[in-house]
Structure 1
Amino acid sequence: MVARDLRPVCAVGATLGEGPVWDVARGALWFVDIKGRRLHRFDPVTGALASQDAPAEIGWALPADDGTLLAGLQDGLWRFDPGGGGFAPFLAVEPDRPGNRLNDATVDAAGRLWFGSMDNGEAEASGRLYRFDDAGIIDSGLPPVVITNGPAFSPDGRTLYHTDTLGGVVHAAPVSEDGTVGAPRPFARIDPADGYPDGPAVDAEGCVWTGLFGGWGVRRYAPTGELIETMRFPVANVTKIAFGGPDLTTVYATTARKGLDAAALAAQPLAGDLFAFTVDVPGLATPLIRIAA
């Protein structure tokens, strides 16, 4: 694997940039600023950025098969109309846990949405991982953690990667065809001195990439859990990557200004911006959420 040509591509200055996803049909990247309550759409051809205010803190917005986006806000799932630019509530999540919010998500090959919650105060182990499909919202059964990140799936869809950010562990768990999740095992452990594992993504070789919050970059792990590559960034808080472009070899990375004091911000003027670099092993396209009747 060769990662090269790291560059800033869009000045956003996000407090907590997150949730990048490549929209194949539209040829654009969606991502969010969670704390800024903004949904962004970046067009790499023109360099244009279109932004929309969200009704609450927004963790992600992923394309669905009916042409809308399904977004994870603080209180649950919302629909977003890219044409009209409006948000509409869809399904409440964890109404009994008002201190939680939704944080990260992905879609499996069957079109099922997988997403996690977390304690917005980043103290209580109240974050859980859920699956949304025709049966509704189902708890995955994985142990709760303070901050969930991911999940992401292996190329064959049989392994789910799920991150306990404050615990510094990326877990791997088997997944059956019906979406049942088996017992997790530690896949990779990251020393807090090297940063905290944030959002994961998987490439076509089955290697797992993770952003490093406070770790100045991203890491790539072999399917066996061996660290095989590190990409260094000029900003400390790298949150998540997404593979994009026509051949999925352009990697986009969101970053954050959250937690940086005035001196750190002065030393990191690009903190919170969107970055890109090129790889020779492509990523995997994110399937559309199956939502249409």
Structure 2
Amino acid sequence: MSDLRIIERDRRDTLGEGPLWVASEDALYWVDILDRRVNRLSLADDAVTSVVMPELIGWVIERADRPGFIAGLASGFAELTLDPFQIRKIVTPEPLSPKVRMNDAKADRAGRIFAGTMCYEGAEPIGSLYRLDSDLSIAPVDQGYRIANGPAISDDGRTIYHTDSAEGLVYRMVLHSDGSLGAREVFLRFPDEWGSPDGMTMDAEGGLWIAHWGGSRVTRFLADGSIDRAIHVPALQVTSCTFAGPNLDRMFITSAADGLDGEHDGALFEVDPGVRGLPTLKFGG
């Protein structure tokens, strides 16, 4: 593995999250939830740009047949284009109280989005996991989360991993062809010294990479839950990771500076993970 690289830019993310590789643009997108930004890194020249949003934003997911993204705003799902800048609200999950916001999401092979919500303070188990179908209809598929985080979906599309960061638990569920989920089972339980499980991604060999909030690393877990390798980064609050580049052999890692003043807290990092990732899946609507 090569040395870790810190992406040079003029700011740090208060709460960097949701890295997304967009192959057609040779670019990485990610959000700063608390600073209400969508960031973009051009892999061709390392240029970083940023667009300020009107409210908190948890993630963006590329659309398969239309320009722009589906975005997870604090208030719900929305259509988003950045050039020209346009937002159109789609649907607000119910019940989405003032205590709850959208947090993290992924698309699956069928073009659906699975998106979690969380209690703003992470104190109450009032978050849920929702499914947005390509016809823009929405359905709740799991409930009872304090901080719903990091969906990751297996290459065959039959298994979904989902996290409650506040509880330190990573769940594994069967993903049925109709988009419903099987019974929730505990895949991993993070001990306190690991920090909390945050954003996740899967590689082409079936490894599950999990970011450690409060643990300064991302770890690759095998199907049996054993640790294969860990990559340490000089930031305490590591939030998510994804594969990027034409060969999907570059890993980018997001972090958060919220409440911290370390030199690299909130930076965007790049590492050579030693394995390739899976192609970015897009929303079908």
Q: Same fold by TM-score, threshold 0.5 exceeded?
A: yes
- Count residues with an aligned counterpart: 282
Q: Hey, what does 1:54 align to over in structure 2?
A: 53
CA distance in 2, matches of 1:107, 1:239: 18
Q: CA deviation at 1:85?
A: 2.2
Q: Hey, what does 1:258 align to over in structure 2?
A: 258
Q: CA deviation at 1:82?
A: 2.8
**Counterpart amino acid of residue 251 in structure 1:** M
Q: 1:75 touches 1:94 (CA, 8 Å); kept in 2?
A: no
Aligned ranges for residues 1-293 of structure 1 at < 5 Å? Answer: 3-11=1-9, 12-65=11-64, 66-94=66-94, 96-133=96-133, 134=135, 136-140=137-141, 142-260=142-260, 265=261, 268-291=262-285
CA distance in 1, matches of 2:60, 2:36: 12
Q: 2:202 touches 2:209 (CA, 8 Å); kept in 1?
A: yes
CA distance in 2, matches of 1:94, 1:100: 10
**Counterpart amino acid of residue 108 in structure 1:** D
The structure-2 alpha-carbon separation of the partners of 1:4 and 1:190, relative to structure 1 and needing over 3 Å to count, comes to: farther
CA distance in 2, matches of 1:73, 1:95: 15
* Residues 115-144 of structure 1: per-residue CA shift (max 9 Å, x gap): 00000122111110011103711111x241
Q: CA deviation at 1:280?
A: 2.8
Q: CA deviation at 1:10?
A: 3.6
Runs of 4+ in 1 over 3 A off after TM superposition: none
Q: 2:58 touches 2:102 (CA, 8 Å); kept in 1?
A: yes
Instruction: Could you tell me which runs of 5 or more consecutive residues in structure 2 were left unpaired when the two chains were aligned.
Output: none
TM-score (norm 2): 0.96
The residue matched to 2:127 in structure 1 has which SS?
coil
Q: CA deviation at 1:186?
A: 1.1
CA distance in 2, matches of 1:74, 1:57: 5
- Between stretches 131-140 and 202-211, larger displacement belongs to 131-140
The residue matched to 1:211 in structure 2 has which SS?
strand
CA RMSD across the alignment: 1.3
**Percent of counterpart pairs with the same letter?**
37
**Counterpart amino acid of residue 118 in structure 1:** M
Q: CA deviation at 1:29?
A: 0.6
